[in-house]
Amino acid sequence: MKKPYLRAFGGKEAATYPISEVRYRSDDGRTLEVDNCLTPLAAKQASALRALFDKRLMSRKPLDKSGVWRYREFLPAFKPFDAVVTMEEGNTTIFDMPQCARFCGMTSLLAKHQGLNPTGSFKDNGMTTAVTMAKKLGATMVACASTGNTSASMAAYAARAGMMSVVFIPDGQIAYGKLSQSLDYGALTIQIEGDFDKAMEIVEDLCNRGTIYLLNSINPFRIEGQKTIMIEMLHQLGWKAPDWVIVPGGNLGNSSSFGKAFDEMLRANFIKKAPKIAVIQAQGANPLYNSFISGDRTLKPVHANTRATAIKIGNPVSFDKAWFAVESTGGIVEQVSEEEIAIAKSKVGRDGVGSEPASATTIAGCRKLVEKGIIRKSDNAVCILTGHLLKDPDYTVEFHRDELYLDAQRTTTLSGTQRISTGGNGNKPVKLPADANKIMSFIDKWNSSK
């Protein structure tokens, strides 16, 4: 079997580079992907591999306990697996979501909650592989631009690997729940004037100078780890593909990795069918949606403006790869408003699960696609919840107190609707006198109104 290598994504000529070469783009500026040179499996081989994955679920070995490295046959670029940095990431639950199903008009609905990862987001799936490669390449310092989740994950994994980490965040545009993580894990945290896209431009420039290793999703080894989210999902579902996988769209690394996972598993004859990928973007940060609707595959950046800070990105680096993921699976791109996100988030909470705002785009998008007749009521769909509720607790409290604004500082400097409506779904805290009888009377009235 051929050894894995880096390949320029898209274009007429597929420029190639060795795995050992530190680079993030091809010479002509295209993003890169890992060609794992996977060969087609015979039916017996595929069956044996599935049995091996089952066996590893009972293993106590560190690599087997990870929901990423358990599937290492699909990660040959990291051989030998002697430098792996793992925190037993993955292993995230697929929840049945009856409240959300009713809200969306579905017979049933599932959600795979990546917020149950060690640092509370899907980024851990990709960071374990990216930091492992950084270690294999001899890096001592790593960096990223971040709206929060990437910085938290990178800082944690860098700390575990004994590396220094540098985080670039847009000033005033990161939830404190996420900022607190990168600070606690020891990262040098630099707040810059400007948005995420400006931070990304700066960090890529600095890392191209050669002393710092870049760990944003432009790094192709991040995508390798994130693709295992879909391998694990199919494993959990008994290798029966759902009709739809619905994912938030920000920098588009996650949707890109899902497309790569399905493409590789199909070409390896490991699965026979892939789900359709639906990418859901916030209306205020929607370059992929604009491209999909117009049919123009040229990235036209937008000035991102949404309270779903994890996807507040107007110039996504994985734009072309996301297009492939949607197109190759027969999927779709949709956008949702701030109100739709906020209300959908409250519905996730009513299922006892909870998520950060960006995750709720999947529920809001599912509802919208059902209303349009694109997703059928009887379809099997899995929504990806990308981050934990406690990543952005301020958003949740503001929503339920009916104090949620598009601009977190509540100024009128940003365009668009300033106040985000709860749609009657708020759950305000109640102030009552310290009187047991009055409190009991209130509880009785509250209960009878339900």
DSSP labels, 148-175: SHHHHHHHHHHHHHT-EEEEEEETT-S-
Confidence band (pLDDT; 50, 70, 90) for 361? very high
For 4-38, b where at least 16 C-beta lie within 10 A, e where not — what string? bbbbbbeeeeeeeeebeebebebeeebbbbbbbeb
Instruction: Residue 118: count other Cβ atoms within 10 Å of its Cβ.
Output: 19
Give the start-end residues of each E strand in 284-443: 332-336, 381-385
**Which residues have CB under 8 Å from 162's CB, separation 6+?**
none
Residue 411 has pLDDT above 60, yes or no: no
Percent of the chain past pLDDT 90, that is, above it, reads 84
Q: How many CA atoms lie within 13 A of 409 on its CB side?
A: 8
pLDDT averaged over every residue in the chain:
93
Q: How many CA atoms lie within 13 A of 260 on its CB side?
A: 30
**Which residues have CB under 8 Å from 53's CB, separation 6+?**
70, 71, 235
Confidence band (pLDDT; 50, 70, 90) for 413? very low
Whole-structure pTM value: 0.94
Residue 379 has pLDDT above 60, yes or no: yes
pLDDT of residue 345: 97
pLDDT of residue 410: 52
pLDDT of residue 175: 73
pLDDT tens digits, 77-101 = 999 999 999 999 999 999 999 999 9
Tokens representing 198 are 């400006």
Q: What is the DSSP string of 421-443?
A: P-TT---------S-HHHHHHHH
Longest CA–CA span in the chain (Å) reads: 77
* Nearest to 369, CA basis, from 105, 128, 117: 105
Can you tell me the mean pLDDT for 209-232?
Answer: 96
Can you tell me the mean pLDDT for 372-377?
Answer: 98
Distance in angstroms (rounded) separating the CA atoms of residues 19 and 381: 36
Among 39-53, 390-404, 409-423, whose mean pLDDT is lowest?
409-423
41-142+222-450 architecture in CATH? 3-Layer(aba) Sandwich (3.40)
Can you tell me the mean pLDDT for 417-423?
Answer: 81
**Which residues have CB under 8 Å from 281's CB, separation 6+?**
248, 249, 250, 287, 288, 289, 311, 333, 334, 335, 336, 361
Phi, psi of 277 (to 5 degrees): -100, 125
pLDDT of residue 416: 45
Confidence band (pLDDT; 50, 70, 90) for 417? low
Q: Distance of CA 104 to CAs 181, 299, 340, 348, 373, Å?
A: 33, 31, 12, 11, 12
* Nearest to 313, CA basis, from 74, 178, 162, 146: 146
pLDDT tens digits, 321-330 = 999 999 999 9
pLDDT tens digits, 15-62 = 999 999 999 999 999 999 999 999 999 999 999 999 999 999 999 999
User: In the β-sheet with 213-214, what is the strand arrangement from edge to edge?
Assistant: 188-192, 164-170, 141-145, 213-214
Distance in angstroms (rounded) separating the CA atoms of residues 363 and 345: 8
* Nearest to 278, CA basis, from 374, 347, 155: 374
Per the listing, tokens 């989740």 go with: 149
Confidence band (pLDDT; 50, 70, 90) for 112? very high
pLDDT tens digits, 254-287 = 999 999 999 999 999 999 999 999 999 999 999 9
Q: At what angle do helices 149-161 and 176-184 cross, to 10 degrees?
A: 10
Confidence band (pLDDT; 50, 70, 90) for 171? confident
